[in-house]
Amino acid sequence: MTNDPTPPNQTPEDASERMDIRTIARLANVSIATVSRTINRVSTVNPKMAKRVWEVIEKLDFVPNTQARALVSGRSKLFGLLISEITNPFFPELIQGFEEIAVEHGYEILISSTNHDPKRMSHCIRRMLERKVEGVAIMTFGIEEPLLEQLAKRKVPLVFIDVGPDRPGISVLKVDYHHGIRQAVQHLAALGHRRIAFVSGPKLLHSAQSRLAAYTKSMHECGIVPDPGWIVEGDHTLEGGVAAMGQLLAQDDLATAVLCSNDMTAIGVLHKLYRTGLRVPDDISVIGFDDIHIAEVTIPPLTTIQMSRFEIAKAAFDALQSQVESPNQLIGKREFNISTSLIVRESTSYPRGTMEHLRKKST
3-class SS string, 191-214 = HCCCCEEEEECCCCCHHHHHHHHH
Nearest to 186 by CA among 210, 152, 220, 222: 222
**Cβ at position 109, least distance to a second copy in Å:** 8
In the range 185-224, which residues lie near a second copy by CB under 8 A?
Answer: none
46 binds DNA (CB under 7 A): yes
One-letter amino acid of 150:
Q
DSSP 258-297: EEESSHHHHHHHHHHHHHHT--TTTT-EEEEEE--GGGGG
Choose, by CB under 8 A, the member of 76, 171, 210, 349 that binds a second copy. Answer: 76
39 binds DNA (CB under 7 A): yes
Q: CA-CA distances (angstroms) from residue 271 to 35, 137, 184, 260, 342?
A: 61, 33, 21, 13, 22
DSSP 136-162: EEEESS---HHHHHHHHHTT--EEEES
**Cβ at position 249, least distance to a second copy in Å:** 16
276 binds DNA (CB under 7 A): no
Per rule CB under 8 A, count of chain residues that contact a second copy? 53
Find which of a second copy, DNA, none residue 355 binds, CB within 5 to 8 Å per kind.
none
Cβ-based nearer residue to a second copy, 29 or 65: 65
Give the three-class secondary structure for 112: strand
64 binds DNA (CB under 7 A): yes
Cβ-based nearer residue to DNA, 34 or 349: 34
C-alpha 257/C-alpha 197 separation (Å) is 6
96 binds a second copy (CB under 8 A): yes
C-alpha 48/C-alpha 55 separation (Å) is 11
C-alpha 112/C-alpha 130 separation (Å) is 14
Sequence-ordered list of residues with C-beta below 8 angstroms from that of 15, at least 6 positions apart, any chain? 6
355 binds DNA (CB under 7 A): no
C-alpha 201/C-alpha 260 separation (Å) is 8
Find which of DNA, a second copy, none residue 344 binds, CB within 5 to 8 Å per kind.
none
**Cβ at position 8, least distance to DNA in Å:** 23
253 binds a second copy (CB under 8 A): no
Interacting residues toward DNA by CB under 7 A: 18, 20-22, 29-34, 36-37, 39-40, 44-46, 48-49, 64-65, 68-69, 71-74
Interacting residues toward a second copy by CB under 8 A: 14, 16, 61, 63-68, 70-71, 76, 86-87, 89, 91-93, 95-96, 99, 103, 108, 110-113, 123, 126-127, 129-132, 150, 153-155, 238, 242, 267-268, 270-271, 274, 293-294, 296-301
